Amino acid sequence: MIDYLPWWIGALALSSIVIGFWLSIGRPLGVSGSWARIVMWKEDKTIEQAEAPFRANPEMLKDALMKATIQHFGEAAVYAALSRRGGKPVAAPADHPASMEIKATWTMHAAFLAMLAAGGLAASLMHGPVELRFNLDELHAQMFGSGIGYLMTLFVGGAMVGFGTQLGGGCTSGHGLSGCSRLVPASLIATASFFGTAVAVSLLIHFFGGA
Amino acid sequence: MHPKTKLHLLYGAFGLMMGVTLSLVGFTDFSEVHKMFIFADFRLLCLFATTVGITMLGFAIVARKSSIPKKTFNRGTIPGSVLFGAGWAITGACPSIALVQIGEGKLVALFTVLGILFGVWIYRKLAAGGLQLDTGVCGEN
């Protein structure tokens, strides 16, 4: 049995991570988004390449946007609108950290996910040599058996986590921490839904399933 | 330093810190998570609630004037979260946990990871194929 850190130290550390992530990277922390980005790495590369000339030359983007606007609304309407504003373009909100300008690539998300595993390894090494296990723990093995059936359970459960977080728009970090801490309604509803379901399913397993 | 290199290092550093923390507090331990869900032990529940509380305070102080992107509610929010909750109860893993578990030597979590990849991939295929459920995920909207 491992002695875990007191819950309040864990809470201090985790909240520092969530806030530090926002302060230094300029995006809310969210792990399921990272999964989406590495699964869609090819599309990510295509978009990156298509955007490259615009990033190198922001004027080109402005011109392209203006051309599309004129195409949509007609030249007369656009010039009328511009002259009403004195010809000044709308300024971007100034309160975003500078790194917002640089798009996070899928390789950054891959680095994040890979280092999560490295973190698990580092934490384990603090307790001593790492022991390789072929089940999550004894309780989990009691519930779901062994062999192919056990591995399939993990795979199907994992697929539910993957599909569910994409459909639900976030996970424990994005909805649960980043969202709930700002009382975002969608995140509160999502967190209540996934936590409530996890409680219900766990109680079912506890009372009716396994040993 | 090139800004892209810096961002890679930052993403990596936050991954490492998060992985170490989640492991040291026991969020990667199936029995601990199961005990939280059946209300047999309130330690992790306290941890989660306190984290939300401190983060709320922190955001109120440091990000007062910033407009942090907010997720919006859509018809995928509840069914998606319900599916995720069931998967979490079965595997003991939310999207970050399965990876941390592999690092801890629980090699079977590789199957959870493969499942997550498969689930995300299927969803993206369906979304691209005209299923009008697209949501914008964690941190990306």
Across the interface, do B107 and A36 touch by the CB < 8 Å criterion? no
* CA A158 vs CA B14, B104, B112: distances in Å: 23, 18, 4
pLDDT tens digits along A49-76: 888 888 788 788 888 888 899 999 988 8
pTM reported for the whole predicted model: 0.86
Q: Is residue B75 part of a domain?
A: yes
% of chain A exceeding 70 in pLDDT = 91
Chain A partners within 8 Å of B27 (Cβ): 10
Strand partners, A133: B106
- Give buried/exposed letters for A119-132 (b at 16+ CB in 10 A, else e): bbbbbbeeeeeeee
Lowest mean pLDDT among A90-94, A180-184, B37-41, B88-92: A90-94
Coil, helix or strand at residue A133: strand
CA A26 – CA A14 distance, rounded (Å): 17
Chain A partners within 8 Å of B53 (Cβ): 11, 181
CA B42 – CA B33 distance, rounded (Å): 10
Q: Which of the four pLDDT bands, split at 50, 70 and 90, describes residue A99?
A: very low
Q: Is residue B81 part of a domain?
A: yes
Q: Is residue B137 part of a domain?
A: no
Catalogue the E-assigned strands of chain A.
Answer: none
Largest CA distance in chain B: 49
Residue pair A131/A6 in contact (Cβ under 8 Å)? The answer is no
Q: Is residue B111 part of a domain?
A: yes
pLDDT of residue A97: 41
Residue A133 has phi, psi (to 5 degrees) of -120, 150
Residue pair A124/B110 in contact (Cβ under 8 Å)? The answer is no
Chain B partners within 8 Å of A165 (Cβ): 80, 84, 94-95, 120, 137-138
Q: Is residue B36 part of a domain?
A: yes
Q: Is residue B139 part of a domain?
A: no
Across the interface, do A157 and B8 touch by the CB < 8 Å criterion? no
B44 touches chain A (CB under 8 A): yes
pLDDT tens digits along A13-45: 999 999 999 999 989 999 999 999 999 999 888
Backbone dihedral region for residue A14 (phi beyond 0: left; psi -120 to 50: alpha; all else: beta):
alpha
Which structural domain, as residue segments, surrounds residue B36? 3-128
Q: Angle, to 10 degrees, between the axis of helix A147-168 and the axis of helix A185-208?
A: 160
Number of A/B CB contacts below 8 angstroms equals 491
Q: Which of the four pLDDT bands, split at 50, 70 and 90, describes residue A48?
A: confident
Residue A161: name the closest of B133, B24, B2, B118 by CA.
B118
